[in-house]
Chains A and B, each alone.
Chain A
Amino acid sequence: MTLQQTEFEPDIDAITSVTGQVRRAVETVIEGKRSAIDLALVVLLAEGHLLVEDVPGVGKTMLAKALGKAIDCSVRRLQFTPDLLPSDITGVSVFNAETRDFEFKPGGIFANVVVGDEINRASPKTQSALLESMEERQVSVDGTTYRLAPPFMVVATQNPIEMEGTYPLPEAQRDRFMARVEMGYPTTTAELAMLDQHGQTNPLDALEPVTDAATIVSLIEQARQVYVAAPIKKYIVDVVDATRHHRDLRLGASPRATIQLLRAARALAAMSGRDYVNPDDVSSLAVSVLAHRVLPSSEALAGRRTPTEIIGQCVRGVAVPERS
């Protein structure tokens, strides 16, 4: 075995038990959305950012808030509007008359979980301020660099309808998000249960933290140690590569997507109680991680073939790896 200084056996039990508790806690707030919650947890453990696309009122913001509260982290919500300024996000240096010095007022990005509501309503300049901080996990204002405390995760929401007067994220910026999730409407049963719960009180108030930021940081470190066999790496590369040659796609997924698919697969494997990634981790995450990064060709659009379907085809077209 090659010597790698940081390699150690990950504590998988810790990851499954903590993520299980968080999942249960969040589920008390959002009923029947297990897959969305799990994906959010995967993104959290893989140090990515989540893009939530759906119509209003299905619980996009609620998901982010509940997640932040369950892991006892600071949550900030930024409502994106056309007049939101980059400094509203990063913060600004203000002259303090008493100390006679400039004093940094942190912006909305200084939190562990940042909810960017309707990110497509802000101007491109503001959007890119957010996206830069997301990528670099730090903010530079007036020459001073401020690190963002881990865990740090942006949950941006986008409303696919009412696109008038908005600035949809360009592909290059969508690529910064590790995964996209569509909430979807709840099932009838879940919606009934929701009526009962939300009838009297706000369940978010009743939600008690089940872990803390330090634990999450250590779990992130653990998840990085999940073993990925060579055939699995090849499989990931093959799946991503398939998107670059599919005739229905004008633009395939980037190398950044390859890295993020690998990270997400590690996190999912750990959450499933395994210290190694299997092909099912990769194939089940492929749509969430890749679909928002690709551009369908005009023929595909005319034929109503969605990126989700096309990515599914790409995955099915790649043979599951066998032993090397």
Chain B
Amino acid sequence: MRASDRLSLASFAATALAMLTLFPITQDRSFVLWSLGAMALVSVVTALVRRTVAGEAGALISELAVLIGISGGLAVVLADDLGPVEAVRELAAAGVHHLESQSAPMEASPAVVWLMVTAVGTTLVLTDLLVSVLARPSWGLAPGLTLFLIPALALADDLSPVAGVAVIAGYCLILLAEGINRTERWRRGVIDDPAHPTRSVSPVLWGSAAVVVVPAIALSLVAWLAIPTGSLSFVPGGHGDGGAGPLQLSDPTLDLRRNLNRPDDVPVLTYTTTAPADADDRDEGVYLRIASLPYLDANGWQNSAIDVLPGQPGRIPGVNAESPQRRHTEIQIGDFDSEYLPLPYFPRQLIVPGEWGYDPLSLVYIATSGDRGRATRDLTYSVDSVDLDPDGERLSVARGGSPDDVDITGTLPADLPDEIVALALEITAEAPTDALKAAALQAYLRGGTFEYSTEPAPGSGYEALTNFLFEDQRGYCEQFAAAMAVMARVLGIPSRVAIGFLPGDKVGDTWEVTTHDLHAWPELYFEGIGWTRWEPTPGNGTVPPDWTLQRSGSGDETTAPPTSTEPTDEAEPTFEPTLQPSDPNAEPSDDPLGPNELPDARWGLAQTIGAGLGLVVVVAVLLLPGTLRALRRRRRLSGGGDLGESVEDAWAEVRDSVIDARGSWPSGSPRVISDQLSTGLLATAAPQVTELAVLVERARYARTPGSVGQPELVTLVSDIRTALAEPASRGQRIRMALLPPSLMKPRSGRRAG
């Protein structure tokens, strides 16, 4: 292995390891593949250029050119219908906004993917610059460390120690590679024995490297764990309510904002929970519900008068048949004062010291005697509950029901501002059923218009709500939950706002819940299903419950928040890629460097040629997939075989074109596929799709295949392809032409199933 290749490989590995530290800050892992691909391309091109006369300068230039090409190309791919420059600008702005408005782990966003790939690529180029170009391997830690700082600053104490170890291990690899190179140089100089050519590093060096590297990693890990982080200390916050003192919670909303805003995150309770035997995910925590606010007026969501009953919880409102499977939870409360008992929903049986009673409508437990306000302090208790996760498909067609307290939870105050009513109706105009309307509300609130922030004025009254919905568009869980609950009532779905704790963090077998886990969420009531939890608050790590994301049974309506929107603006119908290979205008070299002349780092003709070659390689690599795809299309449409074969080829071509345009191909028989395409993507070419599907069907299943000539087949396919391209934006069409996804699909035969 050449010395420069070894260093390149070490830089690659170090950057890849540093990239792993980015894992916790986003939910979308697709940047990993993109980054690895980009890094591989950069490394390979650089290594090739280094072998030419272009030398280190050429390598650097080609490295940068490849990075810019990848970054720009990816931007064009990810941002539809924009040119490279606008796409980069747009994605950078969107990415920065995303970073500012969300907290880790962020939701998937193409802008973030682009930012990360660009950052990782830049890190590789910088590492290579330091390690190879400037020949200063010992500085090679800096770029990886910079990458590592991103999650370190964003996550602080949540960052796994492994991340730090990864960066240091990468650095050790660079040092190791340099060490091997040095040893080889040294041995060449001293032992010039032709009988024993030095090919590889002696085992001694490997051993000594291990002696250095292993303790270094171990030491960094120990240091990491030993240094205390801020979250573990109980420093009273400087906020006005007497620091980390007892947290009163007589009105359950009062402390939400204050606690969410505290700089210190004080643990309030721990619990262990055993999921029922039939649970899907047995390793999940539970939402602990404290209170429920069913009453709405101009001052916001409030408690209503409650009849408190003693004993074990009664019937679950709205639920006819409950699963016999129980979840067992043991809860230990520490420094937390409340008259409400945190309980998983729906509680069925509890063993708790003290005197408690429950509200039969909300199943909320309230202290009934003694020092009620401090009833939960240092309390240890256990509860059996049932997990009633509604079936998403059933829910998607459910109607808003009428619970026993419908006169409270189903009433809309007469003085509710009209603009809120109008907004609710507007958001849900498209949704066919009540539950899908609710899902539309949730998607709207999570959709990116609103920003999670604990800064806005507290409250859920009309004023706070209109301010949140129409002006400020910033809020925290209370506003999100209140807004969704109010709008659900506008639509006739009974609703209430629940206050409680998020599941918290798992430490060993125990879940730890802190003040920052205080949360509010809307509960909506559906006929035949009962009260269901929804999650309209974006950006604090919460994910909407599964059942609110189900596809409805019949339509194509998805209730998931729209992650990407189809561009609708018109673009000229052309398949011409705008990224033409720009030929370098370098004239052929008449005066190459003499064989004895050492290439040096000065920028000269040779370097220009090297850079030009690098660019050509890049462009060729970029154009390769599209070319392969076009060749495949030509072969398929050339005819030649028997009729059945030709029809199958035409069908396979349509399948690949659909995959190129949309990424997926329906499953089923030809007719089923054509029905799906005709009602969706290919509505404008429905007759052609149906005709081809019937031909395929006849070719496969009938006694005699239908009669059709090759020219007609070609016309059918090209009509369908035109219809596919029409609604696509320029960016999409370039992507289809340059990076056809159908090439990546496993070719389980040319048959389109």
Measured CB to CB, the residues of A under 8 A from B are 227, 229, 231-232, 274-280, 283, 319-323
- CB B550 to nearest CB in A, in angstroms, measures 16
Q: Closest chain B residue to A279 by CB distance?
A: B669
Indicate whether A322 sits within 8 Å of B667 (C-beta atoms), given known contacts A276-B701, A276-B702. no
Contact A320 B669 (CB under 8 A): yes
Contact A320 B644 (CB under 8 A): no
User: Which chain B positions have C-beta within 8 A of A323?
Assistant: 644, 648, 699-700, 751
Q: Closest chain B residue to A229 by CB distance?
A: B701
Please measure, in the bound complex, the distance between the C-alpha atom of A276 and the C-alpha atom of B698, giving whole angstroms.
8
Indicate whether A227 sits within 8 Å of B700 (C-beta atoms), given known contacts A278-B669, A320-B667, A323-B648. no
Contact B753 A320 (CB under 8 A): yes
- CB B158 to nearest CB in A, in angstroms, measures 39
Contact A319 B700 (CB under 8 A): no
Contact A278 B697 (CB under 8 A): yes
- CB A132 to nearest CB in B, in angstroms, measures 37
- CB B391 to nearest CB in A, in angstroms, measures 10
Contact B753 A322 (CB under 8 A): yes
Contact B703 A275 (CB under 8 A): yes
Contact A321 B700 (CB under 8 A): yes
- CB A308 to nearest CB in B, in angstroms, measures 14
A279-B668, A280-B672 known, 6 other contacts, Cβ within 8 Å: A231-B701, A232-B701, A276-B701, A280-B669, A323-B644, A323-B699
Measured CB to CB, the residues of B under 8 A from A are 644, 648, 667-672, 697-703, 749, 751, 753
In-complex Cβ contact of A227 among B671, B699, B702 (8 A): B702
User: Which chain A positions have C-beta within 8 A of B703?
Assistant: 227, 275-276
Can you sample 15 A-B contacts with CB below 8 Å?
A227-B701, A231-B701, A274-B702, A275-B702, A275-B703, A276-B698, A277-B701, A278-B669, A279-B668, A319-B753, A320-B672, A322-B749, A322-B753, A323-B699, A323-B700
User: Which chain A positions have C-beta within 8 A of B699?
Assistant: 323
Q: Closest chain A residue to B700 by CB distance?
A: A323
User: Which chain A positions have C-beta within 8 A of B698?
Assistant: 276
**8 nearest CB pairs, A to B:** A276-B702, A279-B669, A227-B703, A229-B701, A322-B751, A323-B700, A320-B669, A276-B701
Q: Closest chain A residue to B697 by CB distance?
A: A278
User: Which chain A positions have C-beta within 8 A of B648?
Assistant: 323
- CB B2 to nearest CB in A, in angstroms, measures 50
Q: Closest chain B residue to A319 by CB distance?
A: B753
User: Which chain B positions have C-beta within 8 A of A283?
Assistant: 669
User: Which chain B positions have C-beta within 8 A of A278?
Assistant: 669-671, 697, 701
Please measure, in the bound complex, the distance between the C-alpha atom of A323 and the C-alpha atom of B644, giving whole angstroms.
9
Please measure, in the bound complex, the distance between the C-alpha atom of A274 and the C-alpha atom of B670, giving whole angstroms.
15
User: Which chain B positions have C-beta within 8 A of A277?
Assistant: 701
Please measure, in the bound complex, the distance between the C-alpha atom of A277 and the C-alpha atom of B644, giving whole angstroms.
17
- CB B369 to nearest CB in A, in angstroms, measures 43
Q: Closest chain A residue to B324 by CB distance?
A: A302
User: Which chain A positions have C-beta within 8 A of B700?
Assistant: 229, 231, 321-323
User: Which chain A positions have C-beta within 8 A of B697?
Assistant: 278
- CB A35 to nearest CB in B, in angstroms, measures 16
Please measure, in the bound complex, the distance between the C-alpha atom of A280 and the C-alpha atom of B697, giving whole angstroms.
10
- CB B395 to nearest CB in A, in angstroms, measures 16
Indicate whether A229 sits within 8 Å of B672 (C-beta atoms), given known contacts A322-B751, A323-B644. no
Q: Closest chain B residue to A277 by CB distance?
A: B701
Most chain A C-beta atoms within 10 Å of own C-beta, residue among B667, B701, B703, B753: B701
